[in-house]
Each structure stands twice: as structure tokens, then as C-alpha cells.
Chain A
């Protein structure tokens, strides 16, 4: 019983660290590309 409680509490404590690691593997969304005829395109 104590072991289960301790495991749950340790999971609670490590949750943000796990989330940070998981999120760091997410691809960064690329910035929207400019239309080809817009000023500065291709430069």
C-alpha cells in the first residue's frame, strides 16, 4: 500500500519534468511561407 502511494506521489513530482521532455520532442511549427510574388520573396 505504502509502495503504491509513494509511486503515485513520485509520479506527481516527476510529471512536469516528463511533460517538458515529451514536449521537447514535438516539432516546432514552421513559420508561414510568403507568397511567391510578395516583396522580398526569393531574396
Chain B
């Protein structure tokens, strides 16, 4: 048994070492214009609590919440069709189209969105590229396949007999959905939302390319601090704060979802 657990402990040790290194860097003094660091200090944490960084954290949480909600609403019909389409051929086609975003890499896909949102393919009535709206579209598109697959797995485990029984007792299709399908698919909704929310909180290429430097999420600020300002201690401090915030939010959401599901 102990031998079987060894790989897990090795992985945990590697992650633990990386986190420890990040924590150590966050406590080192930043020397402007130099990659050398000074002694131990808490100044980095005080510095990253400044307005612009707090704004980035707020924008990230708002964008992540909006992305999760929109992705859930948009993914549900596709997942429902994927789980309930009787024709095997239609189901396979739908699955392939669902997985289509994975065929191109994240960067190529985001550059395609730059073309679409930049009025090259379609003319938009409002500016889309380099705005929060554009970043939201990119994040929703990025998260949809994952959400669809999780919801489809949850929906395929619901026996259609329950829905037929409710319909035979006179419930309208909307009522059947609201009272039977939706509550029974709640475990899939909760896990899908948690995964998409956590994923979006750490999003980097989508806000970097579709935000054009105007929309900053946590990962973009960490990159700016670390690679543009060479302020590695500041970047480490901000990453630590973001990590604590992400863990707190996910634990709170998980507890809330668990309480509602019970």
C-alpha cells in the first residue's frame, strides 16, 4: 500500500517545493533595476494591496463569475442534446463538434477570436476586441467544451423514466425540466461550475490577447510584475494572494453548493 502511494507523495512533494519557493520569493526584498534580492520583508504584500492590483483581483472574480454563469446556461442545451439524442450518428457528430475547439491550440483559437471580434469577419455594433466583453466571449468559448462534457455525463445518468413519469402525470415540459431534470443534474452543475470558475480565475492567454493590455486578470498582472518589471518578489506575493483568494472562494462555493445539494 505504501509503495502504491509513493508516486502521489512524490507529486505532492514537487508541488509543495514549488509553493514553498513561491512563498520564499514573496518574502524577499525587491531591489529595483536588479535581479538580486535583499533580506526578508513583508513590503511586497503591502505593495500588491494597492488600488490597481485590487482592481485586477475584482475584475478577475467578476469575469470568472460571469463566465461560469454564461457557460452553464449555454452549455446545458448542448449537453442535454448530447445525452438525449437517440441517433448514435447524431450524437457522435455533436460530440466531435463539441470537441472542435480542442482541435486548435488555445493560442491559435484566441487569435481566431481576435479576427472575429476585431470586425474582420463580422461588424459588431459595439467594440468587442480589447474590452471585457471580448474577454468574456473568449473565456466562455474556452470553458464550454469542459462544461458540456461534465453536464452530459451527469444528464446521461438520469433515467428518462423519471421525466416520462412526470409528463404522464400532467407536468408540462418546462415543469418536468424544473422539478425533475434540473435537480437531478445538480451534481454535474456544481462540479462543472467549480471547475470552470477555478479555471477562469487563472486564465492567461485569453485576457492577454483579447484584452490587449486593457483588461487585466490576476495571471496577467503576475506576468507584468515578473517579466516586464522583473519584480519577482512582487509577482510571487501577488501570486500567493491570488492563490489564497482562489482557495477561499472555491472552498466557500463548494460548501455553499454542498449545502444546497443536501
Contact = CB atoms under 8 A, between A and B. Distances in A.
A17 B77 contact: no
A41 interface: no
Interface string A1-43: 0110110011011111101100100000000000000000000
Contacts of B145: 13
A20 B112 contact: yes
Contacts of A6: 77-78, 81, 94
A2 B100 contact: no
Contacts of A5: 77
Contacts of B74: 9, 12
Contact of A20 (B78, B80, B104, B144): B104
Contacts of B247: none
B79 to A, nearest CB: 10
Interface stretch (B16-24, B113-121, B238-246): B113-121
Contact of B97 (A13, A20, A23): A13
A26 B59 CA distance: 37
Interface of B: 74-75, 77-78, 80-81, 94, 97-98, 100-101, 103-104, 108-109, 112-113, 115-116, 121, 141, 144-145
Interface of A: 2-3, 5-6, 9-10, 12-17, 19-20, 23
